[in-house]
Structure 1
Amino acid sequence: MSLRARISLSLLLMLAFSVALNFGMLRLVVQRSLGQLERDMAMRSLTRCTEAIHSEVRHLDTFVLDWANWDDTYAFVHGRGEEYAAANLLPQTFRNAGINLIYIVDSAGQVVWGQARDLSTGEEISLREFAGEAWPPTHPFLAGPAAGLFPTARDPLLIAARPILTSAGEGPSRGALIMGRFLDEASVQHLGEQTQTELSAWPVVRTARGLKLADQSLVEHDAAASQQAILDQLSSGEPIAMHEQSDALLWIYTLVPDIQGEPVLLLRAGMARPINVAGIVVGRYALLSIVAIGIVLTLLTLWLLQRGVTRPLTALTRHAAAVGQTGDLSARLELRRRDELGVLARAFDRMLAALQQSRAELQRANAVLQAEVNERKRTEQRLERSLVELAVLFEASRAFSQLLSPEAVGQEIIATIERLMSWQRGSIWLRSDANNELRLLAHSHLGLPADALQAELAQVRGMVARLGDGISGWVALHGEAVRTGNVKADPRYIEADPRMQSELCVPLKVGGRVIGALNMESPQPDAFSEHDEQLSTIVAVSAAVAIENARLYQALQDHASRLEETVARRTAELMQREAALRAANEKLKELDRLKNQFVSNVSHELRTPLANIIAYLYLLEEGKPEKFKQYVATLNREANLLQQLIEDLLLLSRLDLDRAHPSLSVLDINEVVSRLANDRSLLIEKRGLSLQTELSPGRLLARADSKMLLQIITNLMTNAMNFTPAGGTITLTTGMRDGPPHVGQHAAVRSAPEGKNGHWAVVSVSDTGPGISPEDLAHLFERFYRGDAARQSSVPGTGLGLAICKELADRLDATVTVQSQVGQGSTFSVWLPVGEKPLS
């Protein structure tokens, strides 16, 4: 074999080895790394999809918990009243909450109320899984809280069940409240839009041969076989399965279990494969470049070696060394010979020329390659930006769900938009349909110094605009986004900052209802792109839901605060008066006990007249006509008793809310007492009691509210009548006294601290009842308190009469005192301030 052949063969072998080595490196290292990266991205994409389903289940479970832990639901299961169903279990409830199924089952498994509805038509539908009027005790929804997927013949249900308790979360449980939402094609598409994936789902069932699709008609015939293979792979324990649909598209599959852990749904997410496509293209270009360069170098080497090496090699070597040192490929050897040496010299010159041309070509190729590298970098930057945007959106969505104040949500929205795009002036407006206006929720102006920003925030805080004015008002009115690169040319624009040139405004919508607008401005023309509008719309969707939830939560908190305002105020007063935490804690426990006792007493007092009314109404329907007059009289008496009890409760409520203000005038106390004694004398005689009055001579004048004073004396007389046995005496006494109110030598107590000196008009109510023990006297004017004598006897009452007397006396600057001795009766006195001298 000739030297030329051996050299050629060696060069070809080296070229083949180099190509094979580079190809192997691409396959083993680059492609494997890209595949692992692609699998990791697929796992994250699928995790977002399953987490979206779990998030829907959690939101549904929270909604069910609000309904289940509700006194009205608790009472409805026990009493099965139609008012609850008529007020709450309406078709609008299904539509407004996006609920397809509501079932209420008592603790015995009996269905109290249940419906399933198609939200698209509003018609009631039948589900055989919820058929029947009675459920077995082992039913999974009766065993305790449950949430997740539940298979039905129609579509899988996102379902949640909670035990029915009181609003305080106390039992015993009276059953279970179950609500569900179909995970149909529209819901799956909505979840796909949330997670920005091409999402599909098919119900699966377990057969004797394993898992299979519940409805083969949902997929094409060719796809059914491949999906069955996917099901077999997932059934073997693999958490996910992947199918390469093409070089540019990857399908990722996983199984979603139901509430009992049984696979019920095959979930598929589609993911684009830009990394794989880019890897294939880069690999091809790299191999082609290596082969081309190797061929060129091999040919050049053969062309040079075929000229041989002789004596002129030295000159050629010097010439080559000089060229190597200077890098000047335009230099020539100028060896003009016709023999082999000349040929060699000319060949060397031609080699230099070829090298010069190759350098130029390499420079051009390098420029092309550099352009490709730059394009790849830009692609990677876009991909990184997309990943950052997704991360920001995910973090923002999680932050939105944790905030409970609309203002805090607004600030978080501003911060999120600041991380996603470039703008300078941003604001969030909330729509108020009642006033036909917009209210500013949040505002920011980037780039301003801290003091200037605070001044601007103080200036715009609480700003209100008319609905429809400006771009923000137009968006909030029409529910459509506006993006303009030249605000001066837009007739809807109202100038707030002359430097602003571009504006982007998107609506905040909840369930198709516009609740406000998210607005951004920039001093740069055409500053906002279509991509910015899409990002803003995505943020606006989550932000609108978060703002609405925060507003609902705040409204609920305000309502709860109003309901608890009285108890909180009393609790604060007690805690301020107590120096030690243990004493305050004991006081609160005692107040809670009295409140429970009050609820029990009120329930008893309400139940007794209501039961009598119902009984006598029945007698009016079924009884003897000659006794109708007697029945009507009894009904009237019981109704009056019920009315009096309710009026006491309403009066105490008005006093707590500070809505009862006295209308003071000069009254003749003797006249008030005489009139009241005449009104009550007949009732007192019917009870077997005697009434005596001991009025001061002449007129006894004092400044007071006549209605409040009558209420105080009436309550004191009612107490005396209730606790004085038949044959006893009730005495009304009036008189003028000096000095602060005093209580005498026997066991006694005041409703207020010791008063100031001066003249007092005093009205006293005395009885010959059993008297009051010293232990009860200490708590006599506390709400809900009833003494031992009242608790052990059948005397009606709720412990509010004397508390009302105290509250009314406080508003009249009066004092109520009591003297009592066990077995010798009691005397209650009302001290009305007159002043330094009697009134004339």
Structure 2
Amino acid sequence: MNPRIRPVLTATLAFLAALFAIWALDRWIVRPAFVEIEQAQAFEDAARARAAIDGELRGLGEELSDWAQWDDAYAFAASRDPAFVASNLGDWRLLEKNSRLNLCFIFARDGQVLYGGGYDAQLGGFLTPAAFAGETPPIWSMLAPRLAREEPYGGVLSTENGLLLLAARPIVTTRGTGVARGMLVFGRFLDDKLLRALGTQTQVTFELLSASDPRLSPLERDYLDTLRTGEAVLRPATDGTLFVYEALAGLDGQALALLRTPIRQEISATAARTSQTLIGSLGLVMLALLLIHTWLRSRAESAVTDRHAAAAGVAALVLLIGLTLTYGLFTEWRERSRQALTRDFPGRSRGKGRTRARVDRKQPRRDRNRSTLLRRRRQRQSSAVQHVCDANAGAAQVSGAGVAPARAARAARRLRGRSPPGPP
């Protein structure tokens, strides 16, 4: 082999080996570690979102317990005195505002509705879900066994108005004694307002999609049908984006909604920055070692030919370093530009506005300035005409003559440039 080609080939192979080692370290050690952290954080976020929904249901049940374990409610279940309803359930707007209550039903032991009412301002006011309609509502088939055992009951109910948090408690005395005289039911809709409040509380951006939600894709509907309730899994969406999905069970134990929690992008951004820093640091160290090795070897050589060969190797190494750094900088700036464009010009703002901008850029600056001057001149002429007309109209009222209106008309034409000035 040519002695001058050998150092160049050696430097090139050593450089490529160093790049492969750094890439392998990032590909199989650094990034998988961040992926595991990212997925673990996503499962934790999903658990927090589910805990927030369970906590909301638990809070509704605790509030209901204060009503169900109450002597006044116990007396109403026997006497059915309308004064109890008037004093405690007479103002639904106030109940929704203070207690965030959307539904209240009181059942006797035989399933008869002693009182029933529902209200949601966002849904138009008073309402009664189909599960609570009729003399013996369909929901009573689920409540009757719990009342017979005097057990609390609660869960998520799917209605035509959306998902409803439902809590039921037997009606007993304040001391918790006596035979239960009926069942008291509270309901609270899991609407967008409540879900946003839970998201703010948990600092997790999650979505709760019912089976009838149009946002569910066919793939996610399949997840809703096949996933076991209460089990969080990592699955891709239609576009390939990974989410943590969990099927929520209803009162009957069947899946009725899908809890979708995204993976936090901050961890991916941190992983990318860490990988870039690691690759840059290790790359500089290994390149420095290669340069030092080549320089020491060139000094140890005594022949002129060998010195030229060593110089050729150093030149080849420097060229490879320069090309690599150039490509790295180009890739980094291209990614930053893409992110900036995505942030500043979202997809919904593209199209007409961007075409308008291109047209404006093609218009010469001189034409734009000329149109601006003409527009300002017309505005000044209109103001002057209005001023002259107002002044002459006042003069006409004082003198009672018809000369002022004609003078005003001639002044208007003169200012507009439509006719030469006439005699006064």
CA contact (8 A) 2:154 2:167 kept: yes
Report how far residue 11 of structure 1 moved: 4.2
1:234 paired with 2:241, answer no
Q: Is the 8 A contact 1:307 1:347 kept in 2?
A: no
Corresponding position of 2:392: none
Residue in 2 that maps onto 1:158: 165
Residues 155, 184 of structure 1: 8 Å contact kept: yes
Find the aligned partners of 1:21 and 1:244 in 2 and give their Cα distance.
Answer: 34
Find 1:111's aligned residue among 104, 110, 113.
Answer: 113
Q: Which residue of 1 aligns with 2:347?
A: none
Q: Distance in 1 between matches of 2:97 and 2:281?
A: 63
Residue 102 in structure 1 maps to residue 95 in structure 2: no
Q: What SS does the aligned partner of 1:156 have?
A: strand
How many angstroms does 1:230 deviate by?
4.6
Q: Distance in 2 between matches of 1:245 and 1:36?
A: 22
Alpha-carbon displacement from aligned partner over 1:166-201 (angstroms, at most 9, x marks no partner): 111112111100000000111111111111122321
Residue 109 of structure 1, CA deviation = 0.8
Kindly provide the CA deviation profile for residues 62-113 of structure 1, in whole angstroms up to 9, marking residues without a partner as x.
1111111111111111111111111112123344321100000011111111
Deviations along 1:250-303, one digit per CA (max 9) or x if unpaired, are 643322222332222212234432222122233245445655665676577667
In the alignment, the residues of structure 1 paired with residue 253 and residue 127 of structure 2 have an alpha-carbon distance, to the nearest angstrom, of 27
* Cα shift readout 1:763-813 (whole Å, capped 9, x = no counterpart): xxxxxxxxxxxxxxxxxxxxxxxxxxxxxxxxxxxxxxxxxxxxxxxxxxx
TM-score (norm 1): 0.33
Question: Mapping of 1:222-371 within 5 angstroms?
Answer: 224-228=217-221, 230-231=223-224, 234-235=227-228, 239-243=232-236, 251-287=243-279, 309-310=301-302, 340=304
Note if contact 1:101-1:117 (Cα within 8 Å) is conserved in structure 2. Answer: yes
Equivalent pair of 2:108/2:182 in contact (CA under 8 Å): yes
In structure 1, C-alpha distance between the alignment counterparts of 2:230 and 2:57, rounded to whole Å:
25
What is residue 727 of structure 1 aligned with on the other side? none
- Aligned pair in 2 of structure 1 residues 290, 229: CA closer, same or farther (>3 Å)? farther
Structure 2 counterpart of 1:189, which letter?
R
The residue type paired with residue 234 of structure 1 is L
Q: Secondary structure at the match of 2:43?
A: helix
C-alpha spacing 1:119/1:287, structure 2 compared with 1 (3 Å): same
Cα pair distance change 1:229/1:292, threshold 3 Å: farther
- Stretches of structure 2 that go unaligned for 5 or more consecutive residues are 319-324, 326-424
The alpha carbon displacement at 1:121 in A equals 7.2
Matches of 1:292 and 1:34, distance apart in 2:
23
C-alpha displacement at 1:134, in angstroms?
Answer: 1.5
Query: 1:103, 1:111 within 8 Å by CA — same for their partners in 2?
Result: yes
Amino acid at match of 2:162: D
State the percentage of identical aligned residues.
29
Asked if residue 67 in structure 1 is aligned to residue 67 in structure 2, the reply is yes
Change (3 A) 1:296 1:59: closer
Q: TM-score, normalised by structure 2?
A: 0.63
Question: What SS does the aligned partner of 1:133 have?
Answer: coil
CA contact (8 A) 1:108 1:137 kept: no
The residue number in structure 1 matching 2:209 is: 202
Q: Is the CA contact (8 Å cut-off) linking 2:230 and 2:246 kept in structure 1?
A: no
Amino acid at match of 1:215: D
State the partner residue of 2:213: 215
Equivalent in the alignment of 2:134:
132
Q: Indicate if the aligned counterparts of 1:141 and 1:178 stay in contact, CA closer than 8 A.
A: no
- 2: distance between equivalents of 1:270 and 1:192? 12
* Aligned residue identity for 1:266: L
- Deviation (angstroms), 1:229: 5.5
Asked if residue 87 in structure 1 is aligned to residue 87 in structure 2, the reply is: yes
Structure-1 residue corresponding to 2:154: 147
RMSD: 3.9
* Alpha-carbon distance between aligned partners in 2 of 1:237 and 1:54, rounded to the nearest angstrom: 12
Letter in 1 for 2:156: L
Q: Which residue of 1 aligns with 2:361?
A: none
SS in 2 for 1:165: coil
2:234 maps to amino acid = A
- The residue number in structure 2 matching 1:34 is 34
Paired residue type of 1:240? V
Question: Relative to structure 1, is the Cα distance of residues 78 and 201 closer, same or farther in structure 2, using a 3 angstrom cutoff?
Answer: same
Distance in 2, matches of 1:111 and 1:266, equals 32
Name which structure has the greater RCO, CA cutoff 8 Å, separation 6+. Answer: 2
Is the 1:105–1:177 contact (alpha carbons within 8 Å) kept by the matching residues of 2?
yes
**Residues 64 and 40 (structure 1), Cα distance of their counterparts in 2 relative to 1, 3 Å cut:** same
Deviation of 1:48 after TM superposition, in Å, equals: 1.4
**Cα distance in 2 for residues equivalent to 1:9 and 1:145:** 80
CA change 1:13–1:229 in 2 (3 A) is farther
Distance 1:25 1:230, change over 3 A: farther
For the structure 1 residues 23 and 233, does the alpha-carbon distance in structure 2 shift closer, same or farther, using more than 3 Å as the test? farther
Counterpart residue number, 2:409 = none
Residue in structure 1 matched with residue 383 of structure 2 by the alignment: none
With over 3 angstroms needed to count, the CA separation of the structure-2 counterparts of 1:76 and 1:250, relative to structure 1, is same
Aligned equivalents of 2:282, 2:237: Cα separation in 1: 29
Specify whether residues 235 and 3 from structure 1 end up closer, same or farther in structure 2 by C-alpha distance, changes over 3 A only: farther
Partner of 1:170: 177
Q: Which residue of 2 aligns with 1:13?
A: 13
Q: Which moved more, 1:163-172 or 1:251-260?
A: 251-260
- Letter aligned with residue 262 of structure 1: Q
Paired position in structure 2 for 1:53 = 53
Does the Cα contact within 8 Å between 2:219 and 2:238 map onto a contact in 1? no
Q: Deviations over 1:188-229 (max 9, x none)?
A: 11111111122321112xxxxxxxxx132xx2xxx7245335
Letter in 1 for 2:107: V
Change (3 A) 1:177 1:154: same
Q: What is the aligned partner in structure 1 of residue 404 from structure 2?
A: none
User: What is the CA distance between 1:139 and its match in structure 2?
Assistant: 1.8
Higher helix fraction (1 or 2): 2
Instruction: Please give the alpha-carbon distance, in whole angstroms, between the structure 1 residues aligned to 2:105 and 2:125.
Output: 16
Superimposed CA distance per residue, residues 30-80 of structure 1 (whole angstroms, 9 cap, x where no aligned partner): 111111111121122111111111111111101111111111111111111
**Paired AA for residue 111 in structure 1:** V
Tell me: CA distance 1:136–1:98, structure 2 relative to 1, closer, same or farther (3 Å): closer
Please give the secondary structure, in 1, of the residue aligned with 2:141: coil
Q: Bigger radius of gyration, 1 or 2? A: 1
AA aligned opposite 2:22: N
In structure 1, what is the Cα distance between the partners aligned to 2:272 and 2:5? Answer: 36
Report how many residues are paired.
Answer: 310
> Could you say if the C-alpha distance between residues 121 and 87 of structure 1 is closer, same or farther in structure 2, counting changes exceeding 3 Å?
farther
Q: 1:121 to 1:294 in 2, by over 3 A?
A: closer
Aligned in 2, Cα 1:18/1:3: closer, same or farther, shift over 3 Å? same
What residue is the counterpart of 2:200 in the other structure?
A: 193
- Letter paired with 1:15: F
Q: Distance in 1 between matches of 2:265 and 2:237?
A: 10
- Assess, with a 3 A threshold, how the Cα gap between structure 1 residues 3 and 245 changes in structure 2: closer, same or farther: farther
1-structure distance, mates of 2:140, 2:118: 22
Letter in 2 for 1:130: F
Instruction: Work out whether residues 5 and 309 of structure 2, in 8 Å CA contact, stay in contact via their aligned partners in 1.
Output: no
Shift of 1:119: 3.6
Q: Give 3-state SS (helix, strand or coil) of 2:105's partner.
A: strand
